[in-house]
Amino acid sequence: MAIRRSFKSDESFLEKLAIGATGTQAVMNDLRQQGFHPVELERGSSSWKVWKQIKIKRLRVPDILLLDTATRIEARAKKSLQIRMSHSESDPQRGWDRGLLDEDFVALTVCVQAGNRPIDWRASPFVQYIRVKDMREAWIAGRTITERPKGAQEGFELRLTWPSAITRHSGRVTAVAQNRLTYQRESDHRTISLSLYQKKIALNALVAPGEPVHESQIVASVVPVSQRLPKLPMATEDTYLGWLSSRDVAVRYTAAKALAYFHGREVQTELLRILQDDSEHLYVRLEAASSLARLDIPEGWKWIDESVNSPYLENQLETVIILGELRKPEATDLLISILLDTARHAEIRAGAAWAIGEGGAVKGVDALVRTFSDLTPGLRVEAVRALRRLLDAQCPNLAARLESTDSDQRAGLAWAISRSGRFTVEELVQACHGDVEARRWVAYILGLQDADAWATRLGPIKDAAPEVFFAATVLWQIMRSWIANVDEF
């Protein structure tokens, strides 16, 4: 039973990460549609990747930066929409607004489950924005509701809620009175009534009679809410250069990251100054090194090379993740050397495999395949997942490798190829010319494909290896049977 509880805990954590990442991606898409240039500010906020052994303690910054306006966005995805933030009354480092400026925004969206896996979530494209300044003013004025989670001990985080009236259906507003707001539900024209008071706190209506409303729309609250950002002043290179002198480390971090997208001479000078400042926060310096590397400045690459050999595993892993973001040949070469370095920590090598997949560099394929024969715990699982992602970059003729590689490498290749569907009948026929084991893996690959799409295309397989054709059709029959997904519990 202890194992089952641990599994459930891991699955629940992964689900929370997936919801957050899905929401961040939806907000970034919405911002692009509004004409902005969003980039990920908090590393990992748009990904659900979990590192189990090495924990990275990053700076607390908003999830997204709008490069063109120097506006930062904290993305919050919810199963059920509320304006709610975690908060600590005893630790200012865990306060709800830690790392947030008045000019920042919080973006809210709803996520719904889209499959059976904990990572299967779909975000609504309907995004709502709230200025942090308005949230802070309502909180200071006592217009929020503080709740302690059930079973929480002293020192646990609280829940702060900004009271709001939220629709559950799309429709049209019919009336706004002092105490209530009503709207007509679109599906059946039924009138729905929402209170404009919550725990004796009055809400301000945000809509007027006759206006259409969306499902999960905040129609009344203690803070203004909008579906579009207001017109914002444009940021320049000088904006971010000025931010490098801020007393707020999160602002300096933002500037160091943003300056990678500017090419002025002063940018290089200031980033080098940050890099050489031993009193600066390590992650600000690492971000400066990353920006210099993006700009092809040698000092940036030198600092990254030193960081990936840091005595601290946390710093090594963060640098490996950055290398995956850089998408440059120098980064791929460094990642390959880390992946194949058996003296390194297992999760650093696994991180390098993951980063090769994220970077999309086909050059890393051979190194990934080599690790399928490596028994280092967790390494080849990460490597085969990375290869699966690289197949989206249309790696050439991988199926043909099944003919000549060893058993473990065949297993990894077959898994990645079968999930991607990127192979041809001709490649599989070539693999069938290998030994019996190679033909078994060809049958495995085919057996996981859509029978309706492939049944009429297997003539060459039937001619070259009848036993493979037979095995694939048996697998199709089993996978399409009603017993395929029956559990024992």
pLDDT at 354 over 60: yes
Facing residues of 147 across strands? 159
> Which of the residue ranges 191-195, 202-206, 456-460 would you say has the lowest mean pLDDT?
456-460
Q: How confident is the model at residue 7 (pLDDT cuts 50, 70, 90)?
A: very low
pLDDT at 257 over 70: yes
Q: Look over the chain and give the mean of its residue pLDDT values, rounded to a whole number.
A: 92
pLDDT at 154 over 70: no
Residues 162-191 have a mean pLDDT of 96
Planar angle of CA 220, 226, 228, nearest 5 degrees: 165
Residues 35-40 have a mean pLDDT of 98
Q: How confident is the model at residue 148 (pLDDT cuts 50, 70, 90)?
A: confident
Buried b (16+ CB within 10 A) or exposed e, 365-382: bebbbbbbebebeebbeb
Question: 324 near 335, Cβ under 8 Å?
Answer: yes
Q: Residue ranges of the domains in the chain?
A: 1-152, 163-221, 396-489
What pLDDT was estimated at residue 1? 34
Find the helix or strand (DSSP H, E) in which 6 lies: helix 2-33
**β-pairing verdict for 191-195 and 201-202:** unpaired
What pLDDT was estimated at residue 489? 66
Backbone angles phi, psi at 227, to 5 degrees: -95, -5
Please give the Cα distance from 22 to 12 (Å, whole number).
Answer: 15
Q: How confident is the model at residue 405 (pLDDT cuts 50, 70, 90)?
A: confident
pLDDT at 152 over 60: no
- Could you tell me how many helices (H) and strands (E) the chain has, helices first? 18, 18
What pLDDT was estimated at residue 2? 39
Q: How confident is the model at residue 3 (pLDDT cuts 50, 70, 90)?
A: very low
What pLDDT was estimated at residue 90? 80
Fold (CATH) for 163-221: OB fold (Dihydrolipoamide Acetyltransferase, E2P) (2.40.50)
Give percent of the chain above pLDDT 70: 96
Write down the pTM of the prediction. 0.89
What pLDDT was estimated at residue 25? 97
Residues 233-255 have a mean pLDDT of 97
pLDDT at 396 over 80: no
Residues 153-161 have a mean pLDDT of 74
Residues 385-411 have a mean pLDDT of 87
pLDDT at 52 over 90: no
Residues 170-191 have a mean pLDDT of 96
Residues 204-219 have a mean pLDDT of 97
Residues 330-341 have a mean pLDDT of 97
Residues 452-464 have a mean pLDDT of 92
pLDDT at 304 over 60: yes
Q: How confident is the model at residue 10 (pLDDT cuts 50, 70, 90)?
A: confident
Residues 445-467 have a mean pLDDT of 93
Facing residues of 181 across strands? 176, 194
Q: What angle do the packed helices 298-307 and 265-275 form, to 10 degrees?
A: 30
Q: Which residue has the higher pLDDT, 143 or 152?
A: 143
Give percent of the chain above pLDDT 90: 81
pLDDT at 437 over 70: yes
What pLDDT was estimated at residue 361? 86
Facing residues of 30 across strands? none
For the CA atoms of 220, 223, 229, 233, what is the dihedral angle to 10 degrees?
150
What pLDDT was estimated at residue 150? 55
Span 89-122, pLDDT tens digits: 888 888 899 989 999 999 999 999 999 899 999 9
pLDDT at 137 over 90: yes
